Structure 1
Amino acid sequence: MDWGKGITLSLIVFGVIIISMVTICVKQDDLHLVTQNYYEEEIKYQDQIDKMVNAGQLDHEVLIYNNQSKIVDLHLPVGAKGTLHLFRPSDARLDQKITFEITDPAVNSVDVKSLKPGYWRVKLTWVENGVGYYKEEKINI
């Protein structure tokens, strides 16, 4: 084989490899953005910062995860209402949002035994007496 055929064959092999890699990348369906409305949520981030500051000024812990019993306890007063977002960074299809309103202080826990084992972020957003709060915990189930 002479130089011309070797160079031509190398270019053809290179082209086939590039085309196959592009095809593999395009066919992947398990790629997920952290959020679908990334830019809109980025603009609202100052409100989020204010809610985190409000939660940091509380004198008690509002979100406690018990690793033994796999339960997330919410220590919120009666009248608080909001959303508990169970966020799985590696797979958005597993995310869950639970809307709540505390009417009985004895019933304020969420069982997370049914969730897939691994790394989760528990995001708690609530309103109490007209003031917004936000607390986030990282847990391993």
Structure 2
Amino acid sequence: MKINWGTGIVLAFIAFITFILYFVYRMSTDDRANHDLVTEEYYKKELRYQQEIDASKNAAKMGAELKVAKSEMGITIQFPEQFDFDKIKGTVSLYRPSNKHLDVDFPISLSKTHLLIPDNRLVDGRWDITVNWSYEGNTFLHKEKLVY
């Protein structure tokens, strides 16, 4: 049987399309490929972005800058000393870009002017730390990237 040029081109196109469809199917059904969004409820979070900008500006205006540092026991978040630590409320979010199962949110409860995040909760690598806190009706926001 002899194949002419037209038949050969059609067979090449069919083989190529089959090859591409095989890989599309394989990647969409493979459990090892993670196709999640970066964060849950991404669009709702984007709508609240102006509030985050205002809280960051508020922190800079009122001198409410936080200091985040690594220590042997974990991560220490130092709150400004001019604020009464009993009146500080809020949450600390630890976001791991490489694995959403390691993300942690916990409330701020201070007994001194600093907060310690224990070493046993942290895996080596990059962490995005977001401290959303309030003091006497004013909201503040601190974001920082830290490699632990």
TM-score band w.r.t. shorter chain:
0.7 to 0.9
Give ranges in structure 1 of 5+ residues lacking alignment: none
For 1:33 and 1:56, the matched residues in 2 are separated by 31
Give the TM-score, by structure 2 length: 0.80
SS at match of 2:112: coil
Quick one: percent identity of the two aligned structures? Answer: 28
Amino acid at match of 1:34: V
Is 2:59 the partner of 1:30? no
Give the corresponding residue for 1:122: 129
Mark the runs of 5 or more structure 2 residues left unpaired by the alignment: none
Matched length: 140
Which residue of 2 is the match for residue 10 of structure 1? 12
Normalising by structure 1, we get a TM-score of: 0.83
What amino acid is the match of 1:90?
A: S
Equivalent in the alignment of 1:72: 76
Q: Which range moved further: 74-83 or 128-137?
A: 74-83
TM-aligned CA distance change 1:43 to 1:123, over 3 Å: same
Structure whose CA Rg is larger: 2
- Measured after TM superposition, the shift of residue 54 of structure 1 is 1.5
Give the alignment's Cα RMSD to 1 decimal: 2.3
Residue 68 (structure 1) shift: 5.1
Where 1:35 maps in the other structure, the secondary structure is coil
